[in-house]
Amino acid sequence: MNISYEGSISFTQFINEQSEVVNPLPEWALVDKVLVHYYQQMVIARQFDNKAIALQRTGQLGTYASSAGCEAIDIVIASLMHKEDVLVPYYRNHAMQMVRGMKLSEILLYWGGDERGNSSPAQREDFPNCVPIATQCLHACGIASAIKIRNQQRATVSILGDGATSKGDFMEALNVAGVWQLPVVFIINNNQWAISVPRALQSIAPTLAQKALAAGIRGEQVDGNDVVALHQSVEQALQRAREGKGPTLIEAVSYRLSDHTTADDATRYRHPDALKMGWDKEPIKRLRNYLHGQGWWHESDETQWLQHSSALIQDAVDQYLDTPPQPVSSMFDYLYAELPLQLKKQREAAISRSEKEASS
C-alpha cells in the first residue's frame, strides 16, 4: 500500500499563558513599540465591550455579541491589514472595525438597531457585519476573485467562528479559494463554543485548520491569545495573498470569556472551571505581564491609558445616545429599487401613524 497524501498542522506560540517566551522572538517583538500598541488597542476593546454590555443591561442597546477573549485576534489582524485590503467580518469583530477606522459611536449605533451603523464611510470597501453563519466566507471569495481579475495586490480577510466551520459554505469557500488560488485569508476564531455547542461536539477532527488540507490549501493553528504568534502567521498569510501565492486558513485558538451574546446565559451550559481556565489564558493579562517584565509598561501607564480609553468610550456613548433615530420610513426605503404595492401602503400607514404620535 502506498500513501497518497500525508499532511500536518503546525501550532505557533511565542509567549505562553504564564507570559514566558517559549520560542525565539522575531525582531519586531524585541522592542516595545508594536507590542505596546497591541496592548493599548486590546484594552480599549475590552473597555468598550464592558460598556456595551452595561448599556444593553440598562436598556440602551440591543442584543450585543461580546468580543471578550478574542481581542488579540481582532487587533492583530486589523493592524496588519493594509487600508486597501478588504475585511469580510462576522458579528464579533467590533475591535477589527475600530482599528479599520470605524467610530465606536457607529459600532454602538449598529448594535442599537440603527443600520446607519452598518454603513460607515470609514468602512470603505469592507463588508458589513454578517450574521448568517459562514456565508461571509463565500462573499470573501467573490471579492477575492474580483481582486484577482483586476490584477490588484490586495488581500481579502474572512473571519468566522469554530461553529461556522461545520457549514457547507465554509468548505465550499475553501475549495473554490484553492482551485482559483484566490487572495484570501480565512481566520477561524476558535473560541471553543458555538452558543451552547462545545468544540468537542462540533467536529472530531483534532484541529479545525486541517480542513484546509482537504481543499489543498495552507492550514495552520496559532495561539489566538498570543499577539506575537498571531502577528507572524497573519502577516505571512496576508503577504502571500497579496503576492498571488494563494489562500491560507489560520485557526486561532482562543476562549469565549462572555456569554454568546447578551441574549444568552452561559451558566446554564458551561462549567465555571472551564471559564476560569479561559481567563487564565486570556490575551490582555498575558501581554500586560510580559510588558511589565520587560519594563515597557508601568502601573502609571496603565492608569493613564485606562483614563484615556474611558474618556474615548464615554464620548462615543454620548454621540450614540445623542443620535436622533431615523424616520420610520427608513425601514422600507433600502429594500427594493421599487417598493411593491403592499409595502408602499404599509410605508404610508407607518408614516401617518408616527406623525399622529408626534403631534399627540
Ligand X SMILES: Cc1ncc(C[n+]2csc(CCOP(=O)(O)OP(=O)(O)O)c2C)c(N)n1
Phi first, then psi, for residue 21 (nearest 5°) are -80, 120
- Of 3-11, 21-29, 187-195, 332-340, which part binds ligand X (CB under 6 A)? 187-195
What ranges make up the beta strands (E) of the chain?
Answer: 11-12, 86-88, 156-161, 184-190, 193-194, 197-198, 218-223, 248-253
Nearest-angstrom CA–CA distance, 130 and 194: 16
Q: How far is the CB of 192 from ligand X (least distance, A)?
A: 8
Cβ atoms of residues 96 and 159 within 8 Å: yes
Nearer to Mg ion, 155 or 194 (CB): 194
In sequence order, the 6+-apart residues with CB closer than 8 A to the CB of 94 are 45, 48, 49, 52, 67, 74, 107
Nearest-angstrom CA–CA distance, 52 and 60: 9
CB of 6 vs ligand X, minimal distance in Å? 29
Q: Does 191 bind Mg ion (CB under 5 A)?
A: yes
Does residue 92 belong to the site contacting ligand X (CB under 6 A)? yes
Residue 100 annotated in active site: no
**Among 46, 92, 94, 260, which one carries the catalytic annotation?**
260
Taking the least distance from each CB to Mg ion, the nearer of 46 and 260 is 260
Q: What x-and-dash track marks residues 253-292 binding ligand X by CB under 6 A? A: ---x---x--------------------------------
Whether 271 sits among the annotated catalytic residues: the reply is no
205 binds ligand X (CB under 6 A): no
Could you tell me the CA-to-CA distances from 8 to 45, 200, 209, 251, 340 in Å, in that order? 34, 20, 10, 14, 54
Residue type (1 letter), 41: Q
| Residue 67 in contact with Mg ion, rule: CB under 5 A | no
State the number of binding residues for ligand X (CB under 6 A).
Answer: 15
The footprint of Mg ion (CB under 5 A) covers 161-162, 191, 193-194
The footprint of ligand X (CB under 6 A) covers 92, 131-133, 161-164, 189, 191, 193-195, 256, 260
